Structure 1
């Protein structure tokens, strides 16, 4: 299973940058930033051969939200202010993809 992490912007960091895992295992990606005004962290999946980014879920200082398609597949921990963790459970071939985290601020 080949999983790749990527980042949006120069001040948002995601580790590990690459991960190879066996089927039925889990993969963990960590996203961090130090931008005081950013309080949301989004996680996206890009399947090989497509340009589409699927929103998997997001973290903010008060809650996490996982999209329906990924409810039984992923777990999100942390907050959008500094760090967050994406865990992908029970890996299958369909999980081979590039995973992106993006941190940003929102004006309400």
Structure 2
């Protein structure tokens, strides 16, 4: 899980975003997110790494939970290519091999990006 919390600097002229993550494990099915902590300024980009070693899981999904706890927003998923929801098309990028690892890049950080971000691994039966 990734928490993005905005904090003003002492002089009040600039703001920073603080990110932290933690991992939940389900015995043999573990999905990891990193880094654990990350400090970013507004207008910078943040990169979240998601990885797993779950056989046959070939898709990575990303979700955002805003600070008002209004529920999870589906941001998109990575399969053979990125599939981003319209609301996030100009905001995020997804890259990697969804069978093992992927990155989520959040561009031009603003206070509206303050949220908890979730990565999930999934499989598709064809």
TM-score, structure 2 as length reference: 0.77
Task: Tell me if 1:89 matches 2:88.
Answer: no
Unmatched 5+ residue regions in structure 2? Answer: 1-16
Aligned counterpart, 1:50:
69
Report SS of the residue matched to 2:87: helix
Answer 1 or 2: higher relative contact order, Cα 8 Å, separation at least 6: 1
Aligned counterpart in structure 2 of residue 34 of structure 1, from 44, 48, 53? 53
Q: Check 1:7–1:43 CA distance in 2 against 1; reply closer, same or farther (3 A cut).
A: farther
Count the aligned residue pairs.
Answer: 107
SS at match of 2:41: coil
1:17 partnered with 2:33:
no
Between structure 1 and structure 2, the one with the greater Rg is 2
Distance 2:123 2:68 in 1: 30
The equivalent residue for 1:79 is: 97
Cα shift at 1:4: 3.9
SS at match of 1:94: helix
* CA-to-aligned-CA distance 1:42-93 (integer Å, 9 cap, x gap): 0111111315111111111x22101100000001101210000000000000
Q: State whether residues 47 and 97 of structure 1, in contact with CA within 8 Å, keep that contact through their aligned partners in structure 2.
A: yes
Larger proportion of strand: 2
Q: CA deviation at 1:104?
A: 1.2
Q: CA deviation at 1:7?
A: 4.9
- Give the structure-1-normalised TM-score: 0.89
Q: Secondary structure at the match of 1:21?
A: strand
